[in-house]
A and B are shown apart, each in its own frame.
Chain A
Amino acid sequence: MSYKFDESQPIYLQLIEIFKTNIANGTWQAGEKIDSVRNLALSFAVNPNTVQRALVELENIGLAYSQRTTGRFVTQNQVLITNLKHEMAEHKTRDFVSQMQAIDIEQKEILDLVQRCLNSEDN
């Protein structure tokens, strides 16, 4: 119930992003059974059809699959999961770079900033 959605955007798209993140960071392990639609709807406090729509989309892009009797599972295809991680990382980096450019930060400064942030995290 703690997740805060942006209600001006479709909820199912935001659920897809959450589910992708869960797969990318291993919260949902490869091959693991995905929780039921009802339980996911309860934990995100959203409509069950909205959860269903997001899970079907996850299946369409190959990140999940259904077995008629046993339920829905995360893909076992590690290549797909690795690709997903890289895609998400690239997407977020593009966003970050365009935000930096929007406030007129030069390339060298961006790189320095990233380096400094990484260093301070190590300490």
Chain B
Amino acid sequence: MSIIQINNLCKNYGKLQAINNLSIELNSGQIVGLVGPNGSGKSSLLRILGAFDMAYSGEVLINGLKPGLESRKIVSYLSDKPYISESLRAEQMIKLYSDFFSDFNQEKAFNMLELFKLKPEQKLKEMSKGMGDKIQVLLTMSRDAKIYLLDEPISGVDPASRKIILRSMIEGFSEDALMIVSTHLLNDIENIIDSVLFLDSGQIKIKGSTDDLREQYGKSINELFEQIFQ
């Protein structure tokens, strides 16, 4: 059984249709790139899968369950908007996460904190935007989850930190985990993903294995993206 099943999903914001009758099944053991122009529905889709938005129509099943408190136990979601308290120190946030999620791996978190050259005692409000973004990624990647939903994990950080995040994605990969990563920085990420979903106006325009698409079109995934959406 696919770990994510979506049937006829629709999501509206008033008159604006963010997701338009989208159906797809996704299996574990892959890193899926979710790409598309601004407003194509990437973040809306990830929010629904992460059980942070229940106002949709159609069917969504996460490991056989409707998105909710139960599904969140196996889903590690990196939102495009920060949602942790600014007054906490990095080490307190790690503690909070490990209290909250039984699959949280503290060793991984402190290890990544060191790689990012961040101080455990530093408060989020004393951090730059990029540093705060790194903390969010670190907290998300330090769970041993079944599904990772990463909304733009590398867009706000410097190139050296991008490499660390990409490494953590390869390290976090496992046969029984699914990673979905949305991005507009395909250049950095296209070798890390093994399949890709091109979203346009809330619908899937192209999907497939990255290497198969390269073979079929003789183009990089980034070039294919530019060709489709120019």
Contacts and interface: CB of A to CB of B under 8 A. Distances in A.
B106 interface: no
B173 A7 contact: no
Contact of B215 (A5, A10, A42, A53): A10
Interface in B165-187: 166-167, 170-171, 173
A53 to B, nearest CB: 7
A42 B210 CA distance: 18
A47 B221 contact: no
B170 A10 contact: no
Interface residues of B, number: 25
Contacts of B29: 49
Given A46-B191, A47-B31, A47-B194, A7 B222 contact: yes
B167 A46 contact: no
B167 A49 contact: no
B136 to A, nearest CB: 22
Nearest to B188: A45
A9 interface: yes
A10 B170 CA distance: 19
B194 to A, nearest CB: 4
B219 interface: yes
B193 A11 contact: no
Nearest to A53: B211
What class of interface size applies to chain A in its complex with B?
A: 10 to 19
B192 interface: yes
Contact of B170 (A8, A9, A13, A38): A38
A50 interface: yes
Nearest to B191: A46
B214 interface: yes
Contacts of A10: 211-212, 214-215
18 contacts: A8-B218, A8-B219, A8-B220, A9-B214, A10-B212, A11-B191, A13-B211, A38-B171, A42-B167, A42-B171, A45-B166, A47-B31, A47-B173, A47-B191, A47-B193, A47-B210, A48-B173, A50-B211
Interface of A: 1, 5, 7-13, 38, 41-42, 45-50, 53
Q: 4 closest A-B pairs (Cβ-Cβ)?
A: A7-B220, A10-B211, A47-B194, A49-B194
Interface of B: 29-31, 163, 166-167, 170-171, 173, 190-194, 210-212, 214-215, 218-223
